[in-house]
Amino acid sequence: MGASLLGERLVGDWFSKTSIDPRTTMLTEPFVHDFVRANIWHLKGRDVDLLVDTGMGICPLAPQIDTPAGKPLLVVATHIHLDHVGSLHEFPLRAGPEQSAEKFDSMDEAVTYAYMFHNLDGAVSKLPAPSWKAADYRILPAPLTRTLAEGDVVDIGDRQFKVLHLPGHSPDSIALFDQADGLFFAGDAIYDGMLIDDLPDSDRAAYRRTMQRLLDLPIRIGHGGHGPSFDGKRMREIASAYLRRSNGR
């Protein structure tokens, strides 16, 4: 896939690419089940490029990332679920949540929920290879080279992102927030869609606390792990709706 005009979505053999602005590209995997069709965000920094999450790992992601030779690419996993860490092993600079750091060494399918994909009806709408089977799906180990905890800073030269620990969907969910600009990479802490809070390691009480915290976060634009991007007003609507819906559950 070549370069795209702003806002234009180009679909290749496995990945789609959308240029959000001159420095931000969103990649997705349009041929995987929508339940695990996550957003992958590539942000060009002055000194370091940033990749937020890495999709399912069914097809190689690294060749799709347009980073100049010799320029560092830091990959941040927002949490350890399958649709966000599948291709993490392809990249040398791997950062992720401190809370689940040791689990990246093995990528146990009970932790990543890879086993849920094995028998998923309509797991893919197009075979990535003639002999491919969802039952054979595995995530390769990707030991972290950096751990991230609440208050840490990810510096890409012309932007500094504060790490926020926002549990609920998963205990290890983190997000990146540029306090100077209001740019927010939310992972699955919040996105414009039906939020998932019923996984084995989900915690609804923690999710409610996260939503309360997000009500006061002064974002300009949010890029979530799924669904379309959102502004601050829409984020507050999503958080408020969750708080109403989860009240008493």
Residue 189 falls inside a structural domain = yes
Please report which confidence band the pLDDT of residue 226 belongs to, taking 50, 70 and 90 as the band edges.
Answer: very high
Please report which confidence band the pLDDT of residue 248 belongs to, taking 50, 70 and 90 as the band edges.
Answer: low
- Asked whether the CA dihedral 165, 94, 156, 38 is positive or negative, the reply is negative
Please report which confidence band the pLDDT of residue 8 belongs to, taking 50, 70 and 90 as the band edges.
Answer: confident
Query: In the chain, how many domains are there?
Result: 1
Span 194-224, pLDDT tens digits:
999 999 999 999 999 999 999 999 999 999 9
Instruction: Report the phi/psi class of residue 168: left, alpha or beta, with left for phi > 0 and alpha for psi in -120 to 50.
Output: left
- Residue 9 has a pLDDT of 81
Give CA 138 to chain center in angstroms. Answer: 18
Q: Is the pLDDT of residue 1 over 70?
A: no
Alpha helices in the chain, H assignment, sequence order? 82-85, 109-112, 115-118, 204-214, 232-246
Which residue range forms the structural domain that includes residue 153? 9-246
What's the CA gap between 42 and 75, in Å, rounded? 9
The pLDDT of 16-30, averaged and rounded, is: 96
Burial class of residue 21 in the structure, from the number of CB atoms within 10 Å of its CB (0-12 exposed, 13-18 middle, 19+ buried): exposed
Q: Is the pLDDT of residue 225 over 60?
A: yes
Residue 155 falls inside a structural domain = yes
Give the global pTM.
Answer: 0.95
- For residue 143 the two structure tokens come to 């030991």
Say what the alpha-carbon torsion angle 223, 82, 66, 126 is, to the nearest 10 degrees: -100
Span 111-169, pLDDT tens digits:
999 999 999 999 999 999 999 999 999 999 999 999 999 999 999 999 999 999 999 99
Q: What is the CATH number of the domain that holds 19?
A: 3.60.15.10
Span 58-79, pLDDT tens digits:
999 999 999 999 999 999 999 9
Residue 161 falls inside a structural domain = yes
Share of the chain above pLDDT 70, in %: 96
Residue 2 falls inside a structural domain = no
Q: Is the pLDDT of residue 4 over 60?
A: no
